[in-house]
Amino acid sequence: MISLFDSAVTALARGLTFASQRHDVLAQNLANVETPGYRARDLVRDEPSDMAAGAAPPLPRVTYSADGIQGIGGNDVDLERQMGRIAENTLLQHTLVQLLSSQFASLKQVISGRV
Amino acid sequence: MGDLRITPIAPPTPASAASTAPAATGDTGFGEALSRALSEVNEMQLQSRDAAVAVASGKPVDTAQMVVDVEKANISLQFAVQVRNKLLEAYQELMRMQV
Amino acid sequence: MDIFRALDVSASGLTAQRARMDVIAENIANSDTTVTATGRPYQRKTVVLRANDTSGFDAMLPGAKAAGVVVDGVRTSIDPPRRVWQPEHPQAGADGFLELPNVNPVQEMTDMMASTRAYEANAVAFQAAKSLGMKLLELLR
């Protein structure tokens, strides 16, 4: 069976998974914006040397994102910066979904011959 | 009965397929033009695929350029599909003709 | 599933902030209550919050249980009440001082604003997660 789906679809799916995991971490930051002693976190991924090579990329890891500002009781969640990160991440998610959708639409078009 | 000259029917050449292929090489056979156009479509598909993979892996990407690349690839693919459909129709029409 | 967990996390944030707002409202309402059921003046209450990390850091990776924030309970302040010189008040002590609740309205209002801001932020995160879920479903159409 010839592969209908090239590496772009795999890469997009992986990107989407990462983005939705990152949203979980950022949402956890927001939920704990008033919790004493809570340190803000973020999900990062190491840049793979060749994303489309087919080998599994390294797992993303959770790091402390040092926002710097120490709030009451040692909580260092900077609300505005977290909101900025969430907005950027949401935009990435929407972009990836659009790209995926257009990949599938192209395929369907070519298969059905109907434009 | 007068002089009936039957000339061979030239296959239909979609005008734009010929215009996308540069005629500089001098070899403007229909097959050549078509294969050149198809390889251009393929180029655009590859470019759009590279842009999508770059966004997915988090590399900094020029969003405007990416959107333009993806759209160009989509439109040129749609166009190629239409050309194929027309060619198929013309071929079937030809086959239906009674000799 | 990732999408539902994001919703759970944001929902727990909303619940926690709502609990905080309730307690702040109670503090403000009782800022002049000289006698409660215990016979003493009203004491300021605060909500105790705890980050719900199931197993430390790696809980954030897929497969871990839902996280978020947990309301551990409501703590009553043990600070001494405010003392005001008001000998004519029926509840004033023998020394003429009236004991009033240790509620500072300015601090309560500031806390209320912070809590409202946090509530709105959690609501935005909730919406973002929900809209992504809907967009993904559209792919199937």
Residue with tokens 């990152």: A22
Q: Indicate whether this model's pTM tops 0.90.
A: no
Helix, strand and coil in chain B, % to nearest 5:
70, 0, 30
DSSP secondary structure string for all residues of chain C? -HHHHHHHHHHHHHHHHHHHHHHHHHHHHTTT----TTSSPP--EEEEEEE--SSSGGGGSTTSPP--EEEEEEEE--SPPEEEE-TTSTT--TTSEEEE----HHHHHHHHHHHHHHHHHHHHHHHHHHHHHHHHHHTT-
Give how far B34 is from chain A: nearest CA, Å. 17
In a domain, A82, yes or no: yes
Give how far A95 is from chain C: nearest CA, Å. 11
In a domain, A2, yes or no: no
In a domain, A101, yes or no: yes
* C-alpha torsion C90→C91→C95→C101, nearest 10: -140
In a domain, A1, yes or no: no
- Residue B2, pLDDT score: 60
Q: Quote the CA–CA distance of C72 and C70 in Å, as a whole number.
A: 6
- Residue A91, pLDDT score: 92
Confidence tier at C12 by pLDDT (50, 70, 90): very high
In a domain, A67, yes or no: yes
**Distance of alpha carbon A61 from the chain centroid:** 12
**Low-confidence winner among A111-115, B29-33, C26-30, C65-69 (lowest mean pLDDT):** C65-69
Residue B86: list chain A partners with CB under 8 A: none
pLDDT at C41 over 50: yes
Q: Quote the CA–CA distance of C51 and C69 in Å, as a whole number.
A: 5
Q: Decide: A62 and A45 in contact? Cβ < 8 Å.
A: no
- Residue A50, pLDDT score: 54
- Residue C124, pLDDT score: 94
Backbone angle region of C97, left / alpha / beta, with phi > 0 → left and psi within -120 to 50 → alpha: beta
Q: Is A31 in contact with C132 (Cβ distance < 8 A)?
A: no
ipTM of the complex model? 0.79
Q: At residue B38, what is the residue type?
A: L
Give how far B76 is from chain A: nearest CA, Å. 11
Q: Decide: A54 and A7 in contact? Cβ < 8 Å.
A: yes
Q: Quote the CA–CA distance of C6 and A20 in Å, as a whole number.
A: 8
pLDDT at C30 over 50: yes
Interface mutation target, options A30, A76, A81, chain C, most CBs of C under 10 Å: A30
Q: Quote the CA–CA distance of C14 and C50 in Å, as a whole number.
A: 14
Average pLDDT over residues C29-49: 89
List of residues 6+ apart from B99 with CB closer than 8 A: none
- Going residue by residue through chain B (99 aa), what tens digit of pLDDT does each one get? 566 777 777 666 554 444 444 444 455 788 898 899 899 999 999 999 989 988 888 888 888 888 899 999 999 999 999 988 999 999 999 999 987
- Residue C119, pLDDT score: 95
In a domain, A79, yes or no: yes
Q: Is C13 in contact with A27 (Cβ distance < 8 A)?
A: yes
- Residue A48, pLDDT score: 64
Residue with tokens 């990062």: A44
Q: How many residues does chain C have?
A: 141
Interface mutation target, options A17, A26, A32, A93, chain C, most CBs of C under 10 Å: A32
- Residue B17, pLDDT score: 46
Q: Which of A25, A79, A100 sits opposite C60 (nearest CB)?
A: A25
C66 three-class SS: coil
Instruction: Give the mean pLDDT per block of 10 residues along chain A (115 residues).
Output: 77 90 91 88 76 64 74 81 93 93 88 81
- Residue A54, pLDDT score: 59
Q: How many domains in chain A?
A: 1
Q: Quote the CA–CA distance of B67 and A103 in Å, as a whole number.
A: 13
In a domain, A21, yes or no: yes
- Residue A97, pLDDT score: 93
Q: Is C69 in contact with A32 (Cβ distance < 8 A)?
A: yes
Q: Quote the CA–CA distance of C79 and C104 in Å, as a whole number.
A: 12
Domain that holds residue A70: 7-112
